[in-house]
Structure 1
Amino acid sequence: MSDDSTLAGRIQIRLNDLHLDATPTSLEAGLSASAIRNILEGKSKSPRNDTLVRLARVLKTSVDWLGENRGPKELDSSAAETALPPRQILPPPNASISIVPAPRMLDDHINVLGLAKGGADGRFQFNGDVVETIPRPDFLRGVVGAYGLYVEGDSMFPRYKAGELVWIHPGKSPKREDDVVVQLHPDVEGDPPEGYIKEFRGWSPSKLLLWQWNPAEEFNIDRPLVKAVHVIVGRR
């Protein structure tokens, strides 16, 4: 019997009540595939309020019960709906940015960050590790927070090949046709953000406008999901 005194326990109760599995329920809520599993396993302890709202909707319960164990536990589908607009559902992540210390201004080396997983769509997730530290390129001398990463997936082929090393300048403003690393806000506060490598096309009032090469098509993301856009300034 699951314990209703914790968020993880209450989520498990509703999954059991509705005969649901964690991964498809996360995706139905418009969250990352691992969002519910991370909460159940104690990896994510403080979900944002909009994440709780989305979970309450698919678990057919109230936000009050899910978040604080008060209020009704069971709601029908119509009552579980809220005025919150549906979250844009993106392809599975292929990059999540880990939080790593910024290198010193005069450091002659730079960190290459590791990826936890990669997908053909170009979305990536950093695993939080520095896979290697290598000499800093001259064009990144004095750039705080600059980093490198190895490309995963084929969504930007032939522009980039899987396994190719690229250099990122986090303080440079993107211009049209720059290649960029797009960081997304995590589903759960404190989790590392996920991201994409795409070509920057601009901003609309509601979207970040991007382009990918394989397949060649527009790739747009709702602005509220975007945490940062970092420009790729070189490769090796």
Structure 2
Amino acid sequence: MAKNDMKQRVGAAIQTARKRRGLVQRNIADPLGTTVAAVGMWESGKNLPSTENLIKTAEILRVDPAALGRGEVVYLDDVGLADAEVISDPGPPPSGPMDVKVMGVTYGGDDGDFTFNGEIAGYVRRPAGIATVPNVFALHVLSDSMVPRYDPGEVIYCGGRDPIPGDHVVIETFPDQEGQVGKSFIKKLLRRTGSEIIVQQYNPPAELTFDRYAVKNLWRVIPLKELIGF
């Protein structure tokens, strides 16, 4: 494999594992005694970490170091792994078919994955069925917990009305620790009580409960039939 391809694979593996662990780049940089910018360069595939830093990064992310060195992610445990990452901000829809914004970023954010630089890096296409729906945003699916409904790498859209039982939802939780980001999970909403949100997971099949007071946001995933206008 070409060296540049290996850089890309290792960088993507580090980024995916970090985001699924609910960590920010500083959570890797500080224990390693390096900079957030350096971690950003690894994740973007511009540089490879040294063998020592790769092993330490694997320890922080609780993944197999040998697999990480091959650009693969093998989790040593699956405790609290997030299912999704937000790739656009909620907001009123501008005009045009490619109008769900993906904002440009710079490396070096002290308290997050990145710092917004105010520039638009690209767009996610807005399907015709939600052309006039405000406050729509997009997500990348990271895990296989909702296969066969949602596959890793798939782009899904959230917004529209408030979720009701039977909807697929994205649950954003508050961060576990200061300096981290909250994790997002894709599940099927079964019911809500005054203190709990009960959901269904497909893979492996399970019924899960979230503490309502640990949930920052609950968004409905817009189904395909609405996206295409039915």
In 1, Cα distance between equivalents of 2:191 and 2:221: 15
Q: Does 1:148 align with 2:138?
A: yes
Deviation, structure 1 residue 228: 1.1
Q: Secondary structure at the match of 2:157?
A: strand
Unaligned runs of 5+ in 2: 1-20, 37-78, 104-111
Change (3 A) 1:111 1:131: farther
Deviation, structure 1 residue 182: 0.9
Q: Secondary structure at the match of 1:109?
A: coil
Q: Which amino acid aligns with 1:216?
A: P
- 2:191: which partner in 1? 202
After TM superposition, the structure 1 = structure 2 runs for residues 146-185 of structure 1, keeping only pairs within 5 Å, are 146-169=136-159, 171-185=160-174
In 2, Cα distance between equivalents of 1:134 and 1:233: 15
Q: Secondary structure at the match of 1:157?
A: coil
Q: Pick the structure with more helix per residue.
A: 2
In 2, Cα distance between equivalents of 1:180 and 1:145: 15
Q: Which amino acid aligns with 1:200?
A: L
Question: Contact 1:184–1:228 at 8 Å: present in 2 too?
Answer: yes
After TM superposition, the structure 1 = structure 2 runs for residues 3-14 of structure 1, keeping only pairs within 5 Å, are none
Deviation, structure 1 residue 153: 1.5
Deviation, structure 1 residue 157: 0.9
Q: Does 1:228 align with 2:191?
A: no
Structure 2 length normalisation: TM-score? 0.51
The one-character-per-residue Cα deviations of 1:151-199 (angstroms, maximum 9, x if unpaired) are 2221001112222222211x42112221111111224568543210110
After TM superposition, the structure 1 = structure 2 runs for residues 1-236 of structure 1, keeping only pairs within 5 Å, are 34=23, 38=27, 41=30, 91-97=80-86, 100=89, 102-111=91-100, 132-169=122-159, 171-187=160-176, 192-235=181-224
Structure 1 length normalisation: TM-score? 0.50
My pick for the range that moved more, 194-203 or 179-188, is: 179-188
Unaligned runs of 5+ in 1: 1-31, 44-89, 115-124
CA RMSD of aligned residues (A): 3.9
Question: Contact 2:22–2:183 at 8 Å: present in 1 too?
Answer: no
Q: Secondary structure at the match of 2:213?
A: helix
Deviation, structure 1 residue 148: 2.1
Q: How many residues align?
A: 149
Q: Secondary structure at the match of 2:206?
A: strand
The one-character-per-residue Cα deviations of 1:102-138 (angstroms, maximum 9, x if unpaired) are 2445454333769xxxxxxxxxx98788874143112
Q: Identity of counterpart residues, as a percentage?
A: 27
Deviation, structure 1 residue 98: 6.4
Q: Which amino acid aligns with 1:174?
A: P
Q: Secondary structure at the match of 1:180?
A: strand
- 1:18: which partner in 2? none
Q: Secondary structure at the match of 1:176?
A: coil
